Amino acid sequence: MLDELTVDDIIWTPFKDHRAHRPRDPRALYSVYIRTPFGRAVSRHLPERVTRQFGYIQDIPRHPSEIQTTRSLAETADAAYADYVPHLVPHRIPAIRPGDEVSDYMRWYSRVSHRFIIPDDRREELSAVSAMRRGVEMFEQSLEVPVLLQ
């Protein structure tokens, strides 16, 4: 069923109703490196990959390798976060409809993502939609009343 999700099947803004209780912190759109709370582990933080969850139109995000480092990752993360404003995702266009994306986004997504769980050669066989169709056909066949010849 995951392979057959459409844009309309997904809740793109899961925290929308919570905004009245806790406004969005602008640092949620901070996009560089971030240090984990414990230890010295550092990870890329790329909210531009999920801007639909923030209520914006999804565009094609930059590649993670485009984030520049000039010193150790821990120092880079600390320095960038201390002055986080220049590292916020640039101004975004609010989405009119949940799940809105730029025109080439789905083509890009299809090219860079492993978007299917079911292998291509078994998609029809294992498809939830196909299984439902087969079930409906079997049900309809069970309802057919044989015509008696007289």
Give tens-digit pLDDT for 73-94: 788 788 888 888 888 888 788 8
At 84, list the tokens.
């986080």
Instruction: Give the other-Cβ count within 10 Å of 49's Cβ.
Output: 16
Task: Dump pLDDT digits (tens) for 14-55.
Answer: 877 887 888 878 888 888 888 877 766 888 888 888 888 888
Predicted pLDDT of residue 148: 62
% of residues, the chain, pLDDT over 90: 0
Which residue(s) pair with 124 in the sheet?
none
For the chain, the domains span 7-117
Q: How many CA atoms lie within 13 A of 1 on its CB side?
A: 3
